[in-house]
Amino acid sequence: PAFRRFVHQVLSQTLVSPTALLLALYYVRRQLPSIIGVGAGVSDEEMAALSLYAHPPSSAPFKLLTLGLMLANKYLDDNTFLNKTWHEVTGIPLAEINRMEAYFLCRTQYNIDVPQEPWHLFLLRIRSRELFNVVDTEESSRLDRVVGDLLADTYSTRGKHV
């Protein structure tokens, strides 16, 4: 319930586009391997990611979603929110938001572009999970339309990126 309220609050206050939300989820998925496999033989890089995203552990989903939304908003939109705004909307300390962004950008070598094929596969996975697990509701129908439109765009822009 707390995470659901958080997501609702952030999406309501920022009004990011459905495409930005999906891209944010893509970025979150891209970042997860650096913090999920933490156990014996942890590298310094994995410990750095863990200390950024999961300290305290209960904050990890909130921080990862915020980072994804923030980067997706900056990548897709001309008029973007400042990191300070993300801090005000989420309550995550500004210094942490700045460190998370810097870590992600360094880890990706400042390349947050998404090649067509991984994006297309990601959208297909989202669509199949959404249609398989959710009862037909207005929200699921809307998500299906958004993902369908994005998939159609992917087919019509062969060779281009998100």
- Convert the pLDDT of each residue in 50-61 to its tens digit: 676 666 667 788
26-35, 47-56, 128-137: range with highest mean pLDDT: 26-35
* Of 10-14, 37-41, 89-93, the least confident: 37-41
Helices (H) and strands (E) in the chain, counts: 9, 0
User: Which amino acid is it at 115?
Assistant: P
User: 152 versus 101: which is more confidently predicted?
Assistant: 101
Report the predicted TM-score, pTM, of the whole model to 2 decimal places: 0.76
User: 132 versus 122: which is more confidently predicted?
Assistant: 122
Average pLDDT score over residue span 82-106: 92
Hey, what are 51's tokens? Answer: 């200390």
Q: Which of 36, 42, 85, 43 is nearest to 64 (CA)?
A: 36
CB-based contacts of 13: which residues, under 8 Å, 6+ apart?
Answer: 89
Average pLDDT score over residue span 15-37: 82
